[in-house]
């Protein structure tokens, strides 16, 4: 829907849209008339692509309502937040004036006094928000509004905070504008009150010099410079700047948040001292500290109604100087008292919080006068749920009471739910396991009167259990009903190994194997007992006579096993029979009643190049091929 399509529309039958004021990546700003309270307001409407994200909308409404509780002369008031026929909006105070971005485009660098006064008022707004645990996250000239008399209003707390809530859990989204982004925001999305101080430092740099500290071909390139490069010394960009003013900018732009001002109040007090003193000695021949205008227009996402004409009078700097001269003594004394009070805040040692439950860590931090904050949550197979994985600052560091300690908290192992694959084929079960993030375990086969051949009878673990991802699931698969009798196939003329395979495939066993001289090739079956076609019980052992005499090696083998608890029936013991099939035929080497979950070992000898070990546990049979 284009802006022209909704001009004149009434939102909630109360706010009549009269004029489009501007737009940005997330929203379009309209001038609207409040039919109920008979006043003009600014209506910020989210763009359709933002409105389609339900998670963002939920956070946006909650955070906008939270920010609406902010009440300060330097913060744009939020009157209402809501939705009407697919339009999500916030109703805000309409500021008759311009943005700081407009002013910088028009004038370039500002007078030092004016720049410090604007920055001080921004500090006032941020201090009010920070004291209520609200971080702006996107301080930039487009979000700083200037009224006709030069009063500062900070806008867009709600959208930045709603996006910020998402950024703590998604590395794909970093809140903030690249030229004003703090290193920690660009690096990992973690923010604190000092992130706003860094962004304000960039804005102050631009107000004093007319230029941004970093420039690049793309937002990514600029963001990387915030992380990797030191900003240029501001006095090299503007040599006439007093050293104490330059120190304010330098400290605000430290890469390490710990080296910046501890709060916006500290930064504001330092600028207050400078304004109160108002007696610096600029370099000779620099009566006014102006610089060329910065380039690069940028689309605004702010609430402004721009005046058609601006009346000229005394400069804002002159007015500010006259006022400051009157109150300098009182302000200086009061600021000094505040500074001393701040310096008297005791230092505490940051405790070791990693490895502790969040609730315990919170109590410990509170006892020390520290504030524990969560930077994010992450699945971790090594750390239980609700236990802290890492922290910043690190243990042992000395910080002042009231400092925020940011921590990463574990959500525990990444779990999967065991699917129900009973009565499925093994292939179907394998696909189901892949889709459910578990893996195929051991597969054993057994006769079953009810379950169709090649379908799953039971599984372990049971369906519905929550387990760590990639946990193996063991299956018991049906061989169908146990046959009553089979006909003996003719294996005469086949080589011994082929004859054995034929008998096994026919559900028969191999009995005694004897050798005798014969004109047939050595290893050929020359006789069998019983004869072919004879009907015998299932697993009946057929004796074979083989041509020649093959000397076979004897081998020793040890098998260790444990019967699963679920194999136990009405009694506490399980009948286990272990049979060996080798060149000597088929024989039972173990036949006992054993207790489940108790490890057992059986030792036996076998002959030939390979043998088959058949293990029957309570009627559930498995096969294992062994070689020397």
Q: Cα–Cα distance between 69 and 79 in angstroms, integer?
A: 10
pLDDT of residue 176: 54
Strands 371-378 and 404-410: parallel
Is 196 noted as a catalytic residue in this protein? no
pLDDT of residue 311: 44
Residue 56: pLDDT band with limits 50, 70, 90: low
More confident site: 138 or 578:
578
Residue 162: pLDDT band with limits 50, 70, 90: very low
Residue with tokens 């003996």: 488
Residue 115: pLDDT band with limits 50, 70, 90: very high
pLDDT tens digits along 92-105: 889 888 999 999 99
CB-based contacts of 111, cutoff 8 Å, min separation 6: 288, 289, 290, 315, 316, 317
pLDDT of residue 609: 81
SS3 content of the chain, % helix, strand, coil (to 5): 30, 30, 40
Cβ atoms within 10 Å of 539's Cβ, excluding its own: 15
CB-based contacts of 15, cutoff 8 Å, min separation 6: 32, 33, 34, 35, 41, 43, 91
pLDDT at 418 over 80: yes
Pull the structure tokens for residue 527: 């006789």
- Of 258, 327, 313, residue with least CA distance to 148: 313
Longest dimension (CA), the chain: 129
Q: Beta partners for 581?
A: 586, 612
Q: Cα–Cα distance between 231 and 453 in angstroms, integer?
A: 74
Residue 175: pLDDT band with limits 50, 70, 90: very low
DSSP 255: S
Report the 3 state secondary structure along 89-117.
EEEECCCEEEEHHHHHHHHCCCCHHHHHH
Pick from 57-66, 136-145, 402-411 the range whose average pLDDT is largest: 136-145
pLDDT of residue 117: 94
pLDDT at 329 over 80: no
pLDDT tens digits along 336-394: 555 455 455 688 899 999 999 988 998 898 889 888 888 778 888 888 888 999 888 88
Q: What is the mean pLDDT of residues 567-581?
A: 82
- Of 238, 230, 218, residue with least CA distance to 294: 238
Tell me whether residue 442 is exposed, middle or buried, using C-beta atoms within 10 angstroms of its C-beta: 0 to 12, 13 to 18, 19 or more: exposed
> What domains does the chain contain, in order, with CATH numbers?
110-140+176-290+315-344 (1.10.510.10), 347-410 (3.30.10.20), 415-478 (3.30.10.20), 553-628 (2.60.40.2950)
pLDDT tens digits along 340-356: 554 556 888 999 999 99
Q: What is the mean pLDDT of residues 12-19?
A: 89
Q: Cα–Cα distance between 105 and 141 in angstroms, integer?
A: 10
Q: Cα–Cα distance between 209 and 479 in angstroms, integer?
A: 84
CB 579 within 8 A of CB 586: yes
Report the 3 state secondary structure along 310-367.
CCCCCCHHHHHHHHHHHHHHHHHHHHHHHHHHHHCCCEEECCCCCCCEHHHHHHHHHH
pLDDT of residue 292: 31
Q: Cα–Cα distance between 407 and 356 in angstroms, integer?
A: 11
Backbone phi, then psi, for 268, in 5-degree steps?
A: -65, -40
Q: Residue 214 in 3-state DSSP?
A: coil
pLDDT of residue 328: 57
Q: Cα–Cα distance between 369 and 391 in angstroms, integer?
A: 16
Q: Cα–Cα distance between 547 and 549 in angstroms, integer?
A: 7
pLDDT of residue 549: 67
Whole-number average pLDDT of the chain: 81
pLDDT at 452 over 60: yes
pLDDT tens digits along 267-299: 999 999 998 876 443 333 333 333 433 333 333
Residue 472: pLDDT band with limits 50, 70, 90: very high
Report the percentage of the chain scoring pLDDT > 70: 80
Q: What is the mean pLDDT of residues 525-548?
A: 90
pLDDT of residue 65: 67
More confident site: 159 or 573:
573
> Containing H/E element for 626?
strand 620-626
pLDDT at 312 over 80: no
pLDDT tens digits along 249-261: 999 999 999 999 9
pLDDT tens digits along 590-608: 999 888 888 999 999 998 8
Q: What is the total residue count of the chain?
A: 628
More confident site: 144 or 173:
144
DSSP 75: B
pLDDT of residue 8: 79
- From the list 80, 102, 138, 301, the catalytic residue is 138
Q: Cα–Cα distance between 452 and 459 in angstroms, integer?
A: 16
Residue 310: pLDDT band with limits 50, 70, 90: very low
Report the percentage of the chain scoring pLDDT > 90: 39
Residue 314: pLDDT band with limits 50, 70, 90: low
Residue with tokens 């304010």: 248
Q: Beta partners for 82?
A: 89
Q: Is the peptide bond before 530 cis (omega within 30 degrees of 0)?
A: yes
pLDDT of residue 21: 85
Residue 109: pLDDT band with limits 50, 70, 90: very high
Lowest-confidence range among 14-28, 158-172, 194-208, 571-585?
158-172
Residue with tokens 């609200």: 134
CB 11 within 8 A of CB 79: no
Lowest-confidence range among 89-98, 177-186, 310-319?
310-319
Q: Cα–Cα distance between 163 and 60 in angstroms, integer?
A: 8
pLDDT tens digits along 68-92: 778 888 998 888 888 887 778 888 8
Lowest-confidence range among 375-389, 515-529, 531-545, 606-620?
375-389
Long-range CB contacts for residues 491-497, cutoff 8 Å, separation at least 24: 491/525, 491/528, 491/532, 491/542, 491/544, 492/525, 492/526, 492/527, 492/528, 492/532, 493/520, 493/524, 493/525, 494/524, 494/525, 495/523, 495/524, 495/525, 496/523, 496/524, 496/525, 496/544, 496/546, 496/583
Tell me whether residue 304 is exposed, middle or buried, using C-beta atoms within 10 angstroms of its C-beta: 0 to 12, 13 to 18, 19 or more: buried
pLDDT at 63 over 70: no
Between the alpha carbon of residue 99 and those of residues 21, 22, 141, 147, 200, the distances in Å are: 12, 11, 7, 9, 15
pLDDT at 1 over 70: no
pLDDT of residue 447: 84
Residue with tokens 């410079």: 225
pLDDT at 451 over 70: yes
pLDDT of residue 69: 72
pLDDT at 158 over 90: no
Tell me whether residue 199 is exposed, middle or buried, using C-beta atoms within 10 angstroms of its C-beta: 0 to 12, 13 to 18, 19 or more: buried
pLDDT at 207 over 90: yes
pTM above 0.85, yes or no: no
pLDDT of residue 569: 63
Q: What is the mean pLDDT of residues 40-58?
A: 73
């Amino acid at each position: 829907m284009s802006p022209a399509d909704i001009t004149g529309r009434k939102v909630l039958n109360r706010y009549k849209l009269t004029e489009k004021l501007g737009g940005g990546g997330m929203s379009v700003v309209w001038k609207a008339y409040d039919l109920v309270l008979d006043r003009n307001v600014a209506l910020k409407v989210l763009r359709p692509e933002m409105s389609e994200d339900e998670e963002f909308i939920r956070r946006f409404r909650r955070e906008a309502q939270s920010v609406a509780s902010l009440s300060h002369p330097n913060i744009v008031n939020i009157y209402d937040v809501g939705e009407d026929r697919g339009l999500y909006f916030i109703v805000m105070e309409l500021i008759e004036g311009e943005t700081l971005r407009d002013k910088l485009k028009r004038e370039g660098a500002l007078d030092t006094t004016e720049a410090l006064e604007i920055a001080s008022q921004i500090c006032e707004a941020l201090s009010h928000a920070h004291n209520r645990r609200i971080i702006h996250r996107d301080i930039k000239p487009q979000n700083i509004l200037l009224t006709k008399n030069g009063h500062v209003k900070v806008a867009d707390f709600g959208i930045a905070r709603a996006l910020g809530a998402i950024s703590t859990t998604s590395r794909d989204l970093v809140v903030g504008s690249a030229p004003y982004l703090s290193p920690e925001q660009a690096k990992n999305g973690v923010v604190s009150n000092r992130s706003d101080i860094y962004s304000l430092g960039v804005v102050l740099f631009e107000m004093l010099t007319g230029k941004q500290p970093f420039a690049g071909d793309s937002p990514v390139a600029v963001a990387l410079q915030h992380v990797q490069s030191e900003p240029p010394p501001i006095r090299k960009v503007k040599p006439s700047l007093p050293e104490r003013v330059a120190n304010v900018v330098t400290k605000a732009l430290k890469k390490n948040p710990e080296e910046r001002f501890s709060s916006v109040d500290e930064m504001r007090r330092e600028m207050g001292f400078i304004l109160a003193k108002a007696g610096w000695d600029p370099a000779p021949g620099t009566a006014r500290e102006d610089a060329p205008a910065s380039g690069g227009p940028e689309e605004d996402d702010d609430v402004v109604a721009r005046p058609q004409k601006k009346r000229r009078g005394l400069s804002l700097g002159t007015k500010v100087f006259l006022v400051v001269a009157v109150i300098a003594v009182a302000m200086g004394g009061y600021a000094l008292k505040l500074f001393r009070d701040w310096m008297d805040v005791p230092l505490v040692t940051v405790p070791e919080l990693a490895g502790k439950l969040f609730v315990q860590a919170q109590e410990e931090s509170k006892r020390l006068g520290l504030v524990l904050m969560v930077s994010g949550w992450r699945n971790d197979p090594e750390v239980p749920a609700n236990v802290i994985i890492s922290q910043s600052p690190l243990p042992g560091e000395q910080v002042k009471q009231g400092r925020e300690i940011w921590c990463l908290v574990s959500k525990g192992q990444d779990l999967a739910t065991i699917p129900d694959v009973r009565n499925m084929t093994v292939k179907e079960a394998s696909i189901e396991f892949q889709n459910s993030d578990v893996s195929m375990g051991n597969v054993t086969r057994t006769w079953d009167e009810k379950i169709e051949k090649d379908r799953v009878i039971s599984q372990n673990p049971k369906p519905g259990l929550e387990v760590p991802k990639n946990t193996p699931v063991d299956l018991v698969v049906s061989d169908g009903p146990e046959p009553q009798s089979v006909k003996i196939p003719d294996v005469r003329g086949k080589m011994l190994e082929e004859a054995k395979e034929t008998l096994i495939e026919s559900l028969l066993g191999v009995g005694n194997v004897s050798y005798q001289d014969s004109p047939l090739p050595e290893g050929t079956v020359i006789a069998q007992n019983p004869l072919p076609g004879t009907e015998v019980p299932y697993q009946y052992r057929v004796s074979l006579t083989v041509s020649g005499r093959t000397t076979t090696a004897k081998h020793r083998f040890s098998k260790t096993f444990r019967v699963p608890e679920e194999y136990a029936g009405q009694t506490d013991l399980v009948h286990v029979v272990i049979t060996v099939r080798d060149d000597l035929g088929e024989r039972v080497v173990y036949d006992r009643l054993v207790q489940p979950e108790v490890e057992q070992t059986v030792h036996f000898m076998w002959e030939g190049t390979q043998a088959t070990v058949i293990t029957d546990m309570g009627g559930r049979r498995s096969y294992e091929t062994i070689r020397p």
